[in-house]
Structure 1
């Protein structure tokens, strides 16, 4: 099969991949303010803005002061990454992972549907219970389901092993804002101090969460 020919140029646009990245990050830094974030969280915030296309996202970010250090150390030590959705897992850039880390999503495990039916909950929440054997010291990435984040928090309150870091950015209109507020208040309300990043309100999503993970996986932008 012959290689396709490129169409005639009708628009003036940047089409060099590295230049697009550099220009994007430069634009974000010109337009956003990072004053309220921990000093080492700027690259994280830039990546999350890049993944969402929303510069004002920075105003709603809540970043634990030890999040960047804790997540990066865990990943460098080989910690698994536990994801609530296949889209989050698919967004992880494998070449950025420092230790060939396992990227796991149990949503389609055969045990999930029976658990969800028995507990009258979502499959996303039921799948989180299957994380328990790998949860201790893991990096958790929740970008889709508020029920998954609520379920994880309930497990932790009941004494489940503690992950090294939680990226809790589920999106939606039902429970998303509330689950993220519960994450932000986990230490104050229950004495469980786990480094985390979240975004207030309804915004979130798989792209934003995997962008955060890619930023934490490697210091280089």
Structure 2
């Protein structure tokens, strides 16, 4: 028999987090990492992320500092963009952008013979202020960001590299983990726009508490 079907969303989330905490059991995780991992598991119901999410040293701190300095979060899908909590951004004075549907980006991609994701990252690199890239779908976006960093055209505050799929996905993630920038990566093929948004939201909630 179904129980507690009348629970409010906040109550459901609280109970879900309690269940996740219990099922993580004795897995030892750094506290700041654990909060993000729990949010990802809450989104995906996939406990494998407790083993596969990788954090560069000080990645969480770098993300929190960027959010406290009115960062721009750039996504590679409108789905990821919509999943990032708008009220949390507003409270911190941050913004979010996705250029995948931008007519200029479409024209540039066609002219250069690239994916629209590559052209979108080129446009994003020109944005002012601390940049957080949240890549959940397009490994070509992640690869292009790495090129821009090597060319000294972009220095992100944090890169969330969690594209999902089979082609170039693992190479793009492994390449990111060799870059001299803060990163949060989901090793292997798993990921997605919802996972990227969940990581952003976990950071937003943490930054709001520290405000």
Question: Please, what TM-score do these two structures have when normalized by structure 2?
Answer: 0.90
Instruction: Supply the distance in 2 between the matched residues of 1:74 and 1:128 (Cα, whole angstroms).
Output: 19
Can you give the 5+ residue segments of structure 2 that lack an aligned partner in the other structure? none
The equivalent residue for 1:134 is: 127
State the superposition RMSD in angstroms: 1.7
Point out the more displaced range, 140-149 or 113-122. Answer: 113-122
The equivalent residue for 2:59 is: 67
The equivalent residue for 1:7 is: none
The equivalent residue for 2:19 is: 27
The one of 101, 105, 110 equivalent to 1:108 is 101
The equivalent residue for 1:156 is: 149
Instruction: Supply the distance in 2 between the matched residues of 1:71 and 1:153 (Cα, whole angstroms).
Output: 18
Structure 1 residues 116 and 103: CA distance shift in structure 2, 3 A: same
Q: Deviations over 1:15-72 (max 9, x none)?
A: 421221011111111222652x444211111111111110121111101121111111
The equivalent residue for 1:95 is: 87
The equivalent residue for 2:184 is: 197
Q: Secondary structure at the match of 1:163?
A: coil
Structure 1 residues 135 and 146: CA distance shift in structure 2, 3 A: farther
Contact 1:153 1:183 in 2 (8 A): yes
* 1:14 and 2:5 correspond: yes
The equivalent residue for 1:119 is: 112
Instruction: Supply the distance in 1 between the matched residues of 2:58 and 2:75 (Cα, whole angstroms).
Output: 21
Instruction: Supply the distance in 1 between the matched residues of 2:123 and 2:5 (Cα, whole angstroms).
Output: 45
Instruction: Supply the distance in 2 between the matched residues of 1:106 and 1:147 (Cα, whole angstroms).
Output: 14
Q: Deviations over 1:156-200 (max 9, x none)?
A: 1111120111111111111111111111122xxxxxx21110111
Q: Deviations over 1:102-140 (max 9, x none)?
A: 110111111112221233221111111001221652111
The equivalent residue for 2:37 is: 45
Structure 1 residues 170 and 78: CA distance shift in structure 2, 3 A: same
- Between the two proteins, the alignment pairs up a number of residues equal to 204
The ranges of structure 1 where at least 4 consecutive aligned residues each deviate by more than 6 angstroms after the TM superposition are none
Which structure has more helix as a fraction of its residues? Answer: 2
Q: Secondary structure at the match of 2:38?
A: helix
Q: Secondary structure at the match of 1:111?
A: helix
Q: Secondary structure at the match of 1:24?
A: helix
The equivalent residue for 1:3 is: none
